[in-house]
Amino acid sequence: MDYEDTFAAFVAAACPDNAAPMKRYMRDQFEFLGIKTPVRRALERPLIKAARHSPRVDWEFVEVCWGKSEREFQYLAVDYLRATGGRLTPADLPRLRSLAERKSWWDSIDGLCPVVGLIAQRHPEARETVLAWSRDENFWIRRMAIDHQLTMRERTDTELLAQVIINNLGLPEFFINKAIGWALRDYSKTNPGFVRSFIETHGGTMAPLSIREASKYL
């Protein structure tokens, strides 16, 4: 895939005045070009449009993006994967895990969650991998398992949702407890009865943060 023009457009659109506060917002963990999301999406649109018609997923491109120091290139890779996710299979889950383990922070993890969700939705055999991830020693991998069904609404696998959350109850990690709350809060828009019942059953082992987030729309 020809992506050099998009890379050049990103570099040309760099804005140091934006880059500094963006870097601070991510606790100085990553460098930024300073391209805000609407501008970035406009710059990448031709590449993403072409990717939707491509017969294959270009993992080399994804790896090049992930290897660059500026965070906008990882966002580009995530947008690309979300656009081409319908072509991914369970065989691609190790690649997604590898991305999640590198340059990990909530923005990249939450961007990859829907990609994992696309695979799990189309390939039920991915369920076992997701369950294994929900018990992983890396809490970012656990977070991805917890939130991979966000926005699936009536297509949500409630048994899987319940189990990945149960596997993470009682942990002190903020990003896990926040993810549990978000997963339940999102599904409460579709099935509030399920979420109320879950809180009633497991509230004693849920973090206050998780209960607060989960109860927002109840």
pLDDT tens digits along 19-64: 999 999 999 999 999 999 999 999 999 999 999 999 999 999 999 9
CB 71 within 8 A of CB 31: yes
Where along the chain do its domains lie?
1-87, 95-218
CATH classification (class only), 95-218: mainly alpha
Angle made by CA atoms 156, 173, 129, in degrees to the nearest 5: 40
Question: How does pLDDT run across 149-195, given as a tens digit for each residue?
Answer: 999 999 999 999 999 999 999 999 999 999 999 999 999 999 999 99
**Alpha-carbon gap, residue 151 to 155, rounded angstroms:** 9
Mean of pLDDT over the chain: 97
What is the pLDDT at residue 207?
A: 98
Confidence category of residue 2, pLDDT binned at 50, 70, 90: confident
Comparing C-alpha atoms, which of 156, 155, 152, 176 is closest to residue 166? Answer: 176
Q: Which helix (H) or strand (E) holds 144?
A: helix 139-147
Q: Is residue 11 over pLDDT 80?
A: yes
pLDDT above 80: residue 1: no
pLDDT of residue 171: 96
Whether the predicted pLDDT of 144 surpasses 80: yes
The 10s digit of each residue's pLDDT in 193-210 is 999 999 999 999 999 999
Answer yes or no: same fold for 1-87 and 95-218: yes
When computed from its CA atoms, the radius of gyration of the chain, rounded to whole angstroms, is 18
Instruction: Classify 1-87 by CATH class.
Output: mainly alpha
- Give CA 46 to chain center in angstroms: 23
66-118, pLDDT tens digit by residue? 999 999 999 999 999 999 999 999 999 999 999 999 999 999 999 999 999 99
Rounded average pLDDT over 125-142: 98
